[in-house]
Chains A and B, each alone.
Chain A
Amino acid sequence: MNVMQLKPSDFETDQEVRWCPGCGDYAILKVVKSVLADIGRSPDEIVFVAGIGCAARFPYYLSTYGFHTIHGRAAAVATGVKLANPNLDVWVVGGDGDFLSIGGNHTLHALRRNIDLNLLLFNNAIYGLTKGQYSPTSPVGTRSPSTPNGSVEQPVNAARFALGAGAKFVARGADTLQTHLPEVLKRAHGYKGASFVEILQNCIVYHDGAFGAINDRSKSQNVTVRLEHGKPMVFGKDNDKGLVFNEQTGAFEVAEIASLNSDAEVAVHEETNIDHAFALAQLEQPGFPVPLGVIYAEETPHFTEARGFTGTKGDWDRETLKAIL
């Protein structure tokens, strides 16, 4: 790996960034550029693959290789890119429509195959590019041009979907939490295998305020719990609340720390515990703090390793293919 001293501005392009003023995508773009600079890989060793949607404009705005593919198929194209050249850092960017609606099956299979990709789901719970129809993650009751009386379907919980698909790395961040999100993305990049990151992203035009105080820097501490492996799951402005695991129900409960017999009753985050991961992923507002950070991470051989590939071009040269066929 060729580590260089890079600045976020080294990843800018000459393209005018075209999202609506105030869009959360700007905040994510800023974080991604700073993370890429910190990672230090040359832009020609990085590929961003996107499908269709507002988020999918991402590759135009990064001086890496990029591919604006077809709707929902970014994960499939990225799979091909990674298998053809495993030495590339491959990122997949899409919205809730791209990843969970038209591209739901590709997301599922990329995750269960554990291809070494970094998948970033920009979840704004609405179809922004097509002017505001409800999406698979829109909450019940969302009024939109396609649901004038309010939606009735249960929304997909993206993190639970990923866990259910067999993802071994599942994390969550929020667009405007500019000191938290970079750490999440660095962990995702460092994980060898399919790393799935749901980024809660505000659509200022069609779904403004969809995530309430979660991505409001000054109020976020009250409605989110920041996960750190091996640390107790406390939250609230004064860290006065905590999550307690109820062994009988297999679910987390919120407790005032002052009311507990001992601080030790607060559950410690074990990011390798799949049962805790499912229980954490389903915590939602109102009633529960929304977990942000790495929900689940389990080291396991990724696709290329499991297939016995060496990660070099020799895996796919003529002689190798002849021997297989």
Chain B
Amino acid sequence: MTYAVTEACINCKFTDCVEVCPVDCFYEGENMLVIHPDECIDCGVCEPECPEEAIVPDTEPGVEKWVALNQKYSEIWPNITERKDPPADAEKWSGKRDKMDYISPAPASA
């Protein structure tokens, strides 16, 4: 089992989740975070931290595609272990639905 980050994270990337993860299993893209499904210990501590409610357990219906997306990008994006400032326009994207069209496959810049 694992938790997965969904499209609600896109362009928001608040990183509160990163701060609490005990096994540092978040990976950072240019405008989204993902969880490495093989590293996640399923402890759930990140879920309530996300102001966008972007993190869901894989026991919920329809999460398979997000787990697959998390798996794919966690293997190519860099590991993130500390909180950082969200994008300047994060609030503008907050609460917006169907953001998948805006995902950037690029890794976060160092």
Q: Give A contacts to B, CB under 8 Å.
A: 12, 17, 19, 21-24, 26-27, 29-30, 175-176, 178, 202, 204, 215, 217-218
Given A22, A23, A30, which contacts B20 in the complex, CB threshold below 8 Å? A22
Digitize B8-49: 1 where CB-to-A-CB distance is under 8 Å, 0 elsewhere: 000000000000101110000000000000010111110110
Closest chain A residue, CB of each to CB of B82? A218
For the residues of A in contact with B, the DSSP-based class is loop
Neighbouring A residues of B45 by C-beta, 8 Å: 21-22, 204
A19 touches B24 (CB 8 A): no
- In the complex, what's the smallest C-beta–C-beta distance from B50 to chain A, in angstroms? 12
Neighbouring B residues of A218 by C-beta, 8 Å: 24, 81
Closest chain B residue, CB of each to CB of A17? B42
Given A17, A21, A217, which contacts B23 in the complex, CB threshold below 8 Å? A217
Q: Give B contacts to A, CB under 8 Å.
A: 1, 20, 22-24, 39, 41-45, 47-48, 81
User: If A21-B47, A217-B23 touch, does A178 touch B39 (CB 8 Å cutoff)?
Assistant: yes
* Max chain B Cβ within 10 angstroms of own Cβ: one of A17, A19, A26, A27: A26
- In the complex, what's the smallest C-beta–C-beta distance from A217 to chain B, in angstroms? 5
Known: A17-B42, A26-B44. 13 other contacts (CB 8 A): A21-B45, A21-B47, A22-B43, A22-B44, A24-B22, A26-B41, A26-B42, A27-B43, A29-B41, A30-B41, A176-B22, A176-B23, A204-B22
Neighbouring A residues of B23 by C-beta, 8 Å: 27, 176, 178, 217
* Max chain A Cβ within 10 angstroms of own Cβ: one of B1, B42, B43, B47: B43
Closest chain B residue, CB of each to CB of A202? B22
A21 touches B43 (CB 8 A): yes
Given B24, B44, B81, which contacts A21 in the complex, CB threshold below 8 Å? B44
User: If A12-B1, A21-B47, A218-B81 touch, does A30 touch B42 (CB 8 Å cutoff)?
Assistant: yes
Closest chain A residue, CB of each to CB of B81? A218
B43 touches A23 (CB 8 A): yes
- In the complex, what's the smallest C-beta–C-beta distance from A124 to chain B, in angstroms? 13
- In the complex, what's the smallest C-beta–C-beta distance from B26 to chain A, in angstroms? 12
A19 touches B43 (CB 8 A): yes
Neighbouring B residues of A178 by C-beta, 8 Å: 23, 39, 41
Closest chain A residue, CB of each to CB of B47? A21
B48 touches A21 (CB 8 A): yes
- In the complex, what's the smallest C-beta–C-beta distance from B76 to chain A, in angstroms? 20
A–B Cβ pairs within 8 angstroms, 24 of them: A12-B1, A19-B43, A21-B44, A21-B45, A21-B47, A21-B48, A22-B20, A23-B43, A24-B22, A26-B44, A27-B22, A27-B23, A27-B41, A27-B43, A29-B41, A30-B41, A176-B23, A178-B39, A178-B41, A204-B22, A215-B22, A217-B24, A218-B24, A218-B81
- In the complex, what's the smallest C-beta–C-beta distance from A33 to chain B, in angstroms? 10
Q: How far is the CA of A217 from the CA of B43 in the complex (A)?
A: 17
A22 touches B22 (CB 8 A): yes
Closest chain A residue, CB of each to CB of B24? A217
Neighbouring B residues of A22 by C-beta, 8 Å: 20, 22, 43-45
